[in-house]
Amino acid sequence: NGKVFLAYNTGSPEHASIRARGYATSIDELEVGLTALSAPVLGPAGDAIAALSISGPTARLTSDRIAQLAPLLMEEAHVLAERLGHRDQRGAA
């Protein structure tokens, strides 16, 4: 979750890939054997006011599984953002 907040709230060039992809990952970074992915919940001003995440054993959250789950996670974060008043560039959440 921390990477998402850094990427969306500081605009750091180091985190541009997270913004481009729409989610962050942590694979064996916080704890060996633990993988997590996180998507921002954007507020009305476009800043990350929350994050949704999925975490589990690295053996289960393989790169293929992350690729399957990431779109679902981002969609749920998007739905929540819309309920909180966020609108994207097209005028819809």
pLDDT in tens, 48-86: 999 999 999 999 999 999 999 999 999 999 999 999 999
| Alpha helices per DSSP H over the chain | 2-9, 16-21, 63-83
Backbone CA torsion sign across 31, 32, 34, 35: positive
The whole-number pLDDT of residue 51 equals 97
Q: How confident is the model at residue 90 (pLDDT cuts 50, 70, 90)?
A: very low
pTM: 0.88
* Percent share of the chain, pLDDT over 90: 84
